[in-house]
């Protein structure tokens, strides 16, 4: 009999149909063509005017749709991030997805005391090492703005610290053309030169325009720098519903996408074919506390919609978020909100998914949260990988054996179970399934405590392949150079 061979369907969440996607895109184009935007970088302003934009007073521009089409056509549909040793690590294309941490938190939860305190440079090192040691965390970000480094070069110090403590890809922040050039220099040190970095980039810049429709000079400096050097970049403005954008999600998406398209157009004019990771951040402003929510269903919904728009229209890999919470401690709310965004971002196939491990709407970072999220991602992966159907998994022979095998014959004892159980099941590590008494004897721990211990274990024991001495010395020289 011919063996059963059925490709495994992998569940995929869809939240927008084509008609809706086109409507939002049309609205975005209309915003650019009829309302316009403020471009404060003189070079970018000139580039846009030369390309066909209309000036309507000072630095206010209107952009014709054909410029958007041209930019979408020339931007690469696949962005590959490499690790710091030149290995292909994150091919951002289609439905490939990768999770990583976040940046710019002011506080962190102390691993020893559990106290919320200001971030210091050592924390950046710890988060990088933890990311390096966690299987389902593909890239690292700073997880904080340390208070013990000079603020003028804060992002350079933070980047260097991440380089020292992980070999995974890095998504980094910079302030302007000035410090991004230093970060670039450090990155070239790591791989051996500019050409090597262009060929095998291990870094991606995260910059933001200001909603609504405001493009500051320092932000455009970074965009143009990355376009010229071929460094991957994303430019998601904070077009949060009720904050920088209208309260209704369709309008917030249209505005955020419009802003993103301005960035894309400038980017492709400055460096045709350079990699641009697409997408705005469309969360919502909480209407009581005025925080931009990191645990809300709105953000998960708008990025799922963006993924559908990618598939229908844009074709470019997209930026997204997951694994964060508005809770101030790692409690049930933190678990619930983190899982909500992790599973939905995975089901909608967002590509580069950041902010894993944040509490307090992004203001506090937590090693325990990252550790928990690592397992939640694995659990979600099991679900989204679907149910393989073939002769082995239908297990008819095993069923016949066990049923016909007399008293004492159980599936647990059968060879089929022994051969398949590790792939057939999701195997939890930190999620506890013990019976009550052993759980009690082991110390009645909750998930936060177990994640705390696991984070400590990884930080103490995970070996990060060190960089060569010359590289480290080169980095020190650049930092001292001032």
Partner 1 sequence: MTDLKALTESVIKGDIGTATTETQHAVETGHNPQDILDKGLIGAMDEVGESFSKGKIFIPQMLRSAKTMQECMKVLEPLFQKGDITSKGKVIIGTVKGDLHDIGKNLVSMMMEGAGFTMFDLGVNASPERFVQKAQEIEPDIVAMSALLSTTMPSMRQTIEALKQASIRGKVKVMIGGAPVTEKYAREIEADCYAPDAGSAVIKAKGILGIA
Q: Which positions touch partner 1 (CB under 8 A)? A: 104, 106, 118, 145, 151-152, 154, 175, 210, 214, 216, 242-244, 287-290, 363
Pick the closer one to partner 1 by CB: 242 or 279.
242
Pick the closer one to partner 1 by CB: 116 or 198.
116
Contacts of 33 (CB under 8 A, 6+ apart): 62, 63, 64, 65
Where would I find the H helices in 247-349? 249-270, 297-309, 332-347
Q: Alpha-carbon distance 402 to 414, whole Å?
A: 7
| Shortest Å, Cβ 154 to partner 1 | 6
Pick the closer one to partner 1 by CB: 289 or 409.
289
Contacts of 374 (CB under 8 A, 6+ apart): 134, 135, 136, 137
Pick the closer one to partner 1 by CB: 243 or 256.
243
| Shortest Å, Cβ 244 to partner 1 | 7
| Shortest Å, Cβ 122 to partner 1 | 18
Pick the closer one to partner 1 by CB: 22 or 210.
210
Please choose, from the candidates 396, 379, 392, the residue with its C-alpha nearest in 3D space to the C-alpha of residue 431: 379
| Shortest Å, Cβ 243 to partner 1 | 6
Contacts of 300 (CB under 8 A, 6+ apart): 322, 340, 341, 344, 345
| Shortest Å, Cβ 360 to partner 1 | 11
Task: Report CA dihedral (275, 376, 135, 355) to the nearest 10 degrees.
Answer: 40
Asked if 106 and 363 touch (Cβ cutoff 8 Å), the reply is yes
DSSP E strands: which ranges in 64-167? 79-82, 88-92, 98-99, 107-109, 116-118
| Shortest Å, Cβ 263 to partner 1 | 16
Q: For residue 157, how many other CB atoms are within 10 A of its CB? A: 20
| Shortest Å, Cβ 106 to partner 1 | 5
Q: Alpha-carbon distance 252 to 234, whole Å?
A: 18
Pick the closer one to partner 1 by CB: 363 or 384.
363
Pick the closer one to partner 1 by CB: 152 or 397.
152
Distances 142 to 104, 121, 206, 341 between C-alpha atoms, Å: 7, 9, 12, 21
């Amino acid at each position: 009999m011919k063996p059963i061979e059925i490709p495994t369907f992998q569940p995929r969440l869809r939240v927008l149909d084509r008609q809706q996607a086109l409507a939002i895109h049309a609205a975005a184009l209309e915003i650019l063509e009829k309302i316009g935007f403020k471009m404060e970088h003189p070079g970018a302003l000139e580039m846009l005017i030369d390309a066909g934009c209309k000036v309507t007073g000072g630095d206010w521009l209107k952009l014709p749709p054909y410029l958007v089409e041209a930019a979408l056509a020339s931007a690469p549909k696949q962005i590959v991030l490499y690790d710091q040793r030149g290995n292909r690590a994150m091919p951002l294309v289609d439905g490939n997805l990768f999770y990583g941490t976040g940046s710019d938190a002011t506080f962190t939860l102390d691993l020893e005391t559990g106290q919320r305190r200001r971030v210091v440079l050592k924390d950046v090192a710890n988060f990088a090492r933890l990311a390096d040691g966690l299987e389902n965390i593909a890239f690292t970000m700073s997880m904080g703005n340390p208070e013990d480094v000079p603020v003028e070069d804060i992002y350079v110090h933070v980047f260097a610290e991440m380089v020292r403590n992980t070999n995974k890809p890095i998504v980094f922040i910079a302030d302007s053309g000035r410090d991004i050039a230093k970060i670039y220099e450090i990155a070239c040190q790591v791989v051996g030169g500019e050409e090597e970095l262009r060929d095998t980039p291990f870094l991606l810049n995260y910059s933001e325009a200001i909603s609504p429709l405001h493009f500051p000079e320092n932000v455009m400096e970074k965009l143009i720098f990355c376009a010229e050097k071929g460094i991957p970049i994303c430019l998601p403005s904070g077009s949060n519903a009720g904050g920088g954008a209208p309260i209704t999600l369709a309008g917030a998406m249209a505005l955020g996408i419009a802003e993103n398209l301005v960035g894309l157009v400038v980017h492709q004019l400055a460096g045709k074919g350079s990699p641009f990771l697409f997408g705005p951040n469309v969360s919502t402003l909480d209407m009581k506390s005025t925080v931009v929510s990191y645990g809300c269903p709105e953000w998960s919904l708008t990025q799922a919609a963006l993924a559908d728009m990618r598939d229908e229209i844009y074709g470019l890999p997209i930026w997204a978020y997951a694994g964060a919470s508005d809770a101030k401690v790692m409690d049930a709310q933190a678990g619930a909100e983190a899982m909500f965004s992790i599973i939905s971002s995975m089901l909608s196939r967002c590509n580069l998914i950041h902010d894993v491990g944040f509490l307090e709407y992004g203001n506090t970072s937590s090693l325990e949260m990252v550790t928990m999220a690592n397992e939640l991602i694995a659990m979600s992966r099991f679900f989204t990988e679907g149910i393989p159907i073939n002769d082995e998994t239908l297990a008819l022979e095993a069923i016949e054996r066990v049923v016909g095998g007399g008293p004492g014959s159980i599936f647990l004892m059968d060879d089929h179970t022994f051969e398949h159980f590790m792939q057939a099941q999701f195997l939890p590590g930190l999620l506890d399934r013990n019976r009550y008494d052993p759980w009690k004897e082991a110390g009645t721990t909750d998930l936060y405590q177990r994640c705390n211990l696991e984070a400590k274990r990884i930080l103490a024991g995970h070996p990060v392949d060190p960089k060569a001495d010359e590289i480290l010395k080169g980095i020190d020289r650049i930092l001292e150079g001032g």
